[in-house]
Amino acid sequence: MGPMSGLKVLDLSRVLAGPWATQMLADLGADVIKIERPEGGDDTRGWGPPYLRDAQGRETTESAYYLSANRGKRSVAIDLASPEGQKLVRDLALQSDVLVENFKVGGLARYGLAWQDLAPLNPRLIYCSISAFGQDGPLAQAAGYDAMMQAMGGIMSITGAADDEAGASPGAGPQKVGVAIVDLMAGMYAVSAVTSALYERERSGKGQHIDLALLDTVVSWLANQSMNYLVSGRAPQRQGTAHPNIVPYQVFRTADGSLMLAVGNDTQFARLCSSAGRDELARDPRFATNAERVRHRDRLVPLLDQLLRTRKTGSWVAALQPLGVPCAPINDIAQVFEEPQVKHRGLRISLPHPIAGQAPGVRNPIRYSRSALEHGAAPPLLGQHTGEVLSERLGLGPADVQALRERGIVR
């Protein structure tokens, strides 16, 4: 049983930030009911190709994007535009511990499902609102997706090759991260906020509203880069794969490809130099300490570049890893799943799927010594559990559910 077994979560979110959070809660054992539109459901169901294929190799309607963020949930398809649908969702909310939503600010108020509507009826409810800019401020009503948050929140300004980097394409410019990192981090912050609110509820007996903004999220995890600016007054610039505060900590070319070298201290640097047959570099006052290596990176990096090109990537990895010098090949995602360590840790999983037979997935990285994580259910089909949940939670019989289906209120 997962550590959150018995927790009831009502998921009114779609796309990625909210569903990522609720998938994590489902992995931890919570019973997550995903409310979707009867026509089309979560937007990401249509975000393909690629789509999951069945045992005969035929495409299903389940997109890979949707499958990435909805494991372990039960799908209930309800028309929120109808008063009857609104009442069904409200009744489910009154039985829930947690509600997660990412409607535009004020969007659920017209359905009678805002925090202000539900809190008096369910005082223990933890209500988590995820929005682009937060519940207040001059941009509160504006819409926003991950890519624009990466741009506005500064992460794109420090991601990509420097304008003067050798080999950089003219106008390469700022780059976004290859996954929707703002959405994913907002989902992780949401899980942290929800679990903390549940812990506080044990003392106070009261629920509360969580206001989580994508813009706040990206600004908050600029981490050392934001502090570099706040301390120095100089805005950090793009440095490709190089680190602003550590040297050498970047990609280098090798005889047959590339190597990510991540030297984190002076001892590791000395071991690197010894393995390369250049012990004198570690004794050079310009390079002996990290602070000096940062100051003299323009002299050191070209020297290392010449050295690392003398051997193949695999040779460097085999030589440096036993010495405790962090380094790694740059794997594509197919190579990631062939890594012996990834296989040993069982990160690739397969879950039973109602139309495809099996659906691939990636295991939650959390491992407890006693508690189990839940990986029992593939992402649900649209409305797969409507009848089951309405019967179990609201006491509706098959005839009641069928009547609602015939009127288009549920699917």
Which positions are annotated as active-site residues? 183
Helix axes 17-27, 181-204, angle to 10 degrees: 50
Residue with tokens 């009547």: 403
Q: How far is CA 386 from CA 14, 103, 409, in A?
A: 17, 21, 11
Tell me which residue of 85, 84, 100, 90 sits closest to 32, measured CA to CA. Answer: 100
Helix axes 386-394, 398-406, angle to 10 degrees: 130
218 φ/ψ angles, rounded to the nearest 5 degrees: -65, -40
Question: CA-to-CA distance for 199 and 393, rounded, in angstroms?
Answer: 25
Q: 3-state DSSP call for residue 381?
A: coil
163 φ/ψ angles, rounded to the nearest 5 degrees: -60, -30
Question: CA-to-CA distance for 342 and 71, rounded, in angstroms?
Answer: 20
Question: CA-to-CA distance for 393 and 88, rounded, in angstroms?
Answer: 10
DSSP string, 19-78: HHHHHHHHHTT-EEEEEE-TTT-SGGGGS-S-EEE-TTS-EEEEEHHHHTS-TTEEEEEB
